[in-house]
Copies of this chain bind each other. A is one copy, B any other.
Amino acid sequence: MLSYDDAIARILAQISPSTPVSVPILQSLGHTLAEDIHTQSPLPPFDNSAMDGYAVVGADAGNASVETPVALALLDTIAAGGDVAVRVTPGHAAPIMTGAPMPAGADTVVPVEDTKRVGDGVWVLEGAAPGQFVRKAGEDAPAGTLVVEKGSAIRAAEVGMFAAAGRAAALVYRRPRVGVISTGDELAEPGAVLGAAQIYNSNSYAVAAQVLEAGAEVAVRVHARDTFSDLRAAFDACADCDVILTTGGVSVGEFDFVKAVVEERGSVEFWRVAIRPGKPFVFGRCGQALLFGLPGNPVSAMVTFELFVRPALRQLLGAANPMRKIETAVLTEDVAHETGRRDFQRAVVTESVDELRVRATGRQGSGMLRSMVLANALMIVPEEVAGVQSGDTISVIRLSS
């Protein structure tokens, strides 16, 4: 049976970031940047005041103090964004607002706090270092500076930087359109009254929520009953999707139609991976779409999404590293393990002063969604290990994004 490492390597090897699209910068938040962003103008574009105060000739105010104030004659006020007709000459001061352009002749700003208005003039009460409180044109970045690199994750700071560089739109990797198909005659919609042999359909919601958490778009969400015609109709509804996810119908039973329909429409690349939970997992192609057939057990569906689908979606989204970080934690309880498959147990990681600690969330039955609710991590028990003891270190994947 394929190992997890081989399976995820085979999946990622065939995925490139999706087509870049131009979006208004506020909508680019959370995407990966698909171009380099350079400043067009210098930042700032002109010499300007860093304070509300007075633009002066530096030599005038250098020796001022409360005991020996320097009196200067007032010129017109320079507002931020205003025209600068003023020219400052020795013995004069132009009131200036933060961000307003420095007037000709002035090279220094005396902050309001260091002055006192007296009659038609102003007294400088504190010595000013020549050049103080002036932001020089281009001091943050000359024109043409690379300010955000292709491949960056776009957070609020990057959105702000795009705007500061004059960009109204930015090129990002398009969100993959994902189709979610749940299967199984036993599934009832939440809110409905359960029939005799029915359970509620949780996979459709849990997996769709995982798609959204990964940053992709749920384009289609549909349930198929256990017939070829219903499943084919569900696949038809996903014709425009980049990724199709199914839950259930990939085991060895008589009603496991998913593999058959995938083989009609495309190809199964592999089926079954040596992991627990989630051994019956299908990866394939369906037309242009990537196809992930997840097991029907709710925990298996969520864990295989986390292990296989999330990295694929993150790679489509252009993420620099599509895999989550693997950390090391100290076990606080013994964990039993049957050798042969890599086990991804639902676990709780806590931070102690100088290490992470981890324990399983208790019963690990693959139907028990509650173990996912209690978990903030998966704990990785390697294939060949018969069990691990309290005090051993173990690899963990924290699930918060």
Binding site for B on A (CB under 8 A): 25-26, 29, 41, 43-46, 50, 52, 77, 79-84, 95, 97-101, 112-113, 135, 139-141, 147-148, 155-169, 184-187, 189-192, 194-210, 212-213, 218, 226, 251-256, 296-298, 302, 354-355, 365, 367-370, 372-373, 375, 399, 401
Cα distance A210–B194 when bound, in Å? 43
Known: A156-B209, A167-B190, A168-B191. A83 touches B203 (CB 8 A): no
Residues on the B chain within 8 Å of A135, using CB: 365, 367
Q: List 13 A-B contacts (CB under 8 A).
A: A44-B367, A45-B198, A46-B197, A79-B226, A80-B184, A80-B197, A84-B197, A97-B254, A156-B213, A157-B372, A161-B202, A164-B199, A164-B200
User: Shortest CB–CB separation between residue A254 and chain B, in angstroms?
Assistant: 7
Which residue on chain B has the smallest CB distance to residue A157?
Answer: B372
Which residue on chain B has the smallest CB distance to residue A84?
Answer: B197
Cα distance A147–B355 when bound, in Å? 30
Cα distance A344–B399 when bound, in Å? 29
Residues on the B chain within 8 Å of A99, using CB: 184, 186, 199, 296
Cβ of B162 and Cβ of A190 under 8 Å apart? yes
Residues on the B chain within 8 Å of A205, using CB: 25-26, 159-160, 162-163
8 more CB-based (< 8 A) A-B contacts, given A29-B209, A158-B373: A44-B199, A81-B185, A82-B185, A97-B253, A98-B296, A162-B190, A162-B205, A164-B200
Cβ of A373 and Cβ of B147 under 8 Å apart? yes
Give the interface SS of chain A, mostly helix, strand, loop or mixed.
loop
Cα distance A218–B203 when bound, in Å? 31
Cβ of A168 and Cβ of B190 under 8 Å apart? yes
Cβ of A160 and Cβ of B203 under 8 Å apart? yes
Cβ of B81 and Cβ of A160 under 8 Å apart? no
Which residue on chain B has the smallest CB distance to residue A184?
Answer: B80
Residues on the B chain within 8 Å of A83, using CB: 196-197
Cβ of A370 and Cβ of B161 under 8 Å apart? yes
Cβ of B168 and Cβ of A52 under 8 Å apart? no
Which residue on chain B has the smallest CB distance to residue A147?
Answer: B370
Identify which of A43, A50, A148 gathers the most chain B CB atoms within 10 Å of its CB: A43
Residues on the B chain within 8 Å of A196, using CB: 46, 83-84, 101
Kindly list the 5 A-B residue pairs having the minimum CB-CB distance in the complex, ordered from nearest.
A160-B206, A168-B191, A81-B185, A81-B186, A156-B209
Cα distance A249–B214 when bound, in Å? 39
Which residue on chain B has the smallest CB distance to residue A295?
Answer: B98
Which residue on chain B has the smallest CB distance to residue A135?
Answer: B367
Cα distance A254–B77 when bound, in Å? 9
Cβ of A209 and Cβ of B375 under 8 Å apart? no
